[in-house]
Homo-oligomer: A and B are copies of this chain.
């Protein structure tokens, strides 16, 4: 593919166009992914996540500055929760990163949620692969929010930094639960605010009770991203984690399992999509669906009945490998 060749040759406009194709899931996507496959696996992916208001974007901005000082090329994928309602990614935070927009060593892309279940993690991972093939040394996956979609996005990261902040009140209480097992590094940002020590102490207590990886003690760092305090330490912690993953062989295991998982998910996705299209046209199902809609029969036991109806299932399945 000419576009892929140009991108691999360093053309940023081609990269942008390929990203757009991946986001829109155009028919060329499998071909693109195949073409770049042998050029991937060189970059290191850092996930940065945490609740809204924790100052993730500023932190990413500061970490980018350090990476650039070291001469590393950086790609940033910022996943913003948004919707058809607002019509695009929330760009407020991005404005802070303007300095990097003028730096050709940094490529920034915001991606919107758009409500498509499962679609975003898939797209974000593919975009990360494009940035990898493009030659970025570091890819930062920044996700806003703490839902399942965000956790699925961050799963593709080699090292995950979870950013919290004091004053979130019971926010912290609820949020750290979902974030606890994905964190390789905790950062308590806005550490000049009251209550930072307590958040640190709470996190350390929880981590002590529940060690995740015998080769890695999850550090709890403090930072004031806005004042550029504590950023070096975060960067060093990421590098330590990376060294550990590399020396223990965990990095390759982790990446191998991730790729296998992506294969299974892609197959499942394909089958589901075809099945949905089929179901929408099947007359028996449409009739059953109307009965369910009227409340005459319930959806769950009806689904079980259908799934154990050999004849019906076979009929569907025989049609399943037709693309439309």
Contacts and interface: CB of A to CB of B under 8 A. Distances in A.
Interface of A: 29-31, 33-34, 36-38, 40-41, 51-53, 80-86, 90, 92-93, 113, 115, 117, 126, 129, 144-152, 168-171, 173-175, 177-178, 180-181, 210, 255-257, 259-260, 262-264, 266-272, 274-276, 279, 285, 288-290, 292-295, 297-304, 306-308, 310, 313-314, 317-318, 320-321, 323
B300 A29 contact: yes
Contacts of A170: 52-53, 92-93
A263 B298 CA distance: 8
Contact of A178 (B82, B126, B129, B313): B82
Given A174-B80, A276-B264, A306-B267, A30 B301 contact: yes
B318 A210 contact: no
Contact of A169 (B53, B275, B293, B321): B53
Contacts of A126: 300
Contacts of A115: 148, 151
24 contacts: A29-B300, A30-B301, A33-B299, A34-B297, A34-B300, A40-B298, A52-B174, A53-B171, A81-B146, A83-B178, A83-B180, A86-B180, A92-B173, A145-B146, A145-B174, A260-B292, A267-B275, A267-B303, A268-B272, A270-B307, A271-B275, A272-B272, A308-B323, A314-B318
Contact of A288 (B146, B263, B297, B299): B263
Contacts of A149: 147-148
B145 A33 contact: no
A270 B304 contact: yes
B148 A270 contact: no
Given A34-B301, A259-B293, 16 more contacts: A33-B299, A33-B300, A34-B298, A38-B295, A52-B173, A80-B177, A81-B147, A82-B178, A85-B210, A90-B177, A93-B170, A129-B298, A145-B174, A259-B295, A260-B290, A271-B307
Contacts of A299: 33, 259-260, 262-263, 266
B301 A31 contact: yes
Contacts of A152: 117
A267 B279 contact: yes
What 4 A-B pairs come out closest when comparing CB atoms?
A147-B147, A266-B303, A52-B171, A37-B298
Contacts of A293: 256-257, 259-260
